[in-house]
């Protein structure tokens, strides 16, 4: 199911046909968490996730969708029963400080398909304050968590 949310001049949509991969790849390929990520990987990750595109409407609401430019993104990897992982969250620099990331998190955490999950996870280096507003906390017992981490995989 596709969900869309409107606020002021912005739209958040889960419609993958509206994603502007040049914007998404442009940001992610220079981010600290996925430097040099290939476009093919960005597209495949989106294909297998629930995606949330954030669009700034340059035309009045109700006009052609072509008047909107993507200014942010997030994706959820989930079984929709017990677990969700939040990844690749960003808002372009030009749109920061307007409450868009908080609104994005409200839309994500209130999405009907993602209710009643036992565990949500994410990794962040610099946005702890944002995520704490939505119930995220440091791991209760980090000693029970394990990972395989390949931070330079796209540089090999």
Task: Kindly indicate the confidence band of residue 57, based on its pLDDT and cuts at 50, 70 and 90.
Answer: confident
State the pLDDT at residue 151.
Answer: 85
Distances (CA, A) of 43 to 67, 75, 81, 130: 23, 12, 24, 26
State the pLDDT at residue 156.
Answer: 73
Provide the β-strand partners of residue 103. Answer: none
State the pLDDT at residue 64.
Answer: 43
Whether the pLDDT of residue 60 is over 60: the answer is: no
Per-residue pLDDT, averaged over 65-93, amounts to 93
Per-residue pLDDT, averaged over 52-77, amounts to 79
Q: Are 73 and 87 in contact (CB under 8 A)?
A: no
Task: Kindly indicate the confidence band of residue 67, based on its pLDDT and cuts at 50, 70 and 90.
Answer: low
State the pLDDT at residue 61.
Answer: 47
Mean pLDDT of the chain: 93
CATH code, 61: 3.40.630.30
Q: Which residues of 91-115 are buried (b: 16+ CB within 10 A; e: fewer)?
A: bbeeeeebebbebbbbbbbebeebe
* DSSP class per residue in 41-56: HHHHHHHTSEEEEEEE
Report the number of distinct structural domains present in the chain: 1
Whether the pLDDT of residue 63 is over 50: the answer is: no
Structure tokens given for 107: 């839309």
Q: Look up the domain containing 86 and give its range.
A: 4-155
Rounded to an integer, what distance in angstroms lies between the CA atom of residue 34 and that of residue 61?
34
Is residue 68 classed exposed, middle or buried when 0-12, 13-18 and 19+ CB atoms within 10 A define those classes? Answer: buried
CA-nearest of 79, 80, 88, 81 to 123 is: 88
State the pLDDT at residue 66.
Answer: 57
pLDDT tens profile 81-126? 999 999 999 999 999 999 999 999 999 999 999 999 999 999 999 9
């Amino acid at each position: 199911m596709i969900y869309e949310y409107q606020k002021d001049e912005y739209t958040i949509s889960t419609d993958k046909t509206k994603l502007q991969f040049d914007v998404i790849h442009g940001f992610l390929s220079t981010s600290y968490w996925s430097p040099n990520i290939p476009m093919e990987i960005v597209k495949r990750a989106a294909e297998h996730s629930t995606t949330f595109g954030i669009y700034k409407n340059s035309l009045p609401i109700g006009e052609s969708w072509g008047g909107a430019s993507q200014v942010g993104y997030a994706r959820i990897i989930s079984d929709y029963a017990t677990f969700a992982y939040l990844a690749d969250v960003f808002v372009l620099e030009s749109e920061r400080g307007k409450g868009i990331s908080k609104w994005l998190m409200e839309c994500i955490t209130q999405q009907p398909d993602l209710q009643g999950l036992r565990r949500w996870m994410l990794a962040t280096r610099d946005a702890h304050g944002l995520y704490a507003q939505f119930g995220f906390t440091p791991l209760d017992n980090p000693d029970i968590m394990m990972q395989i981490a390949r931070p330079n995989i796209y540089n090999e």
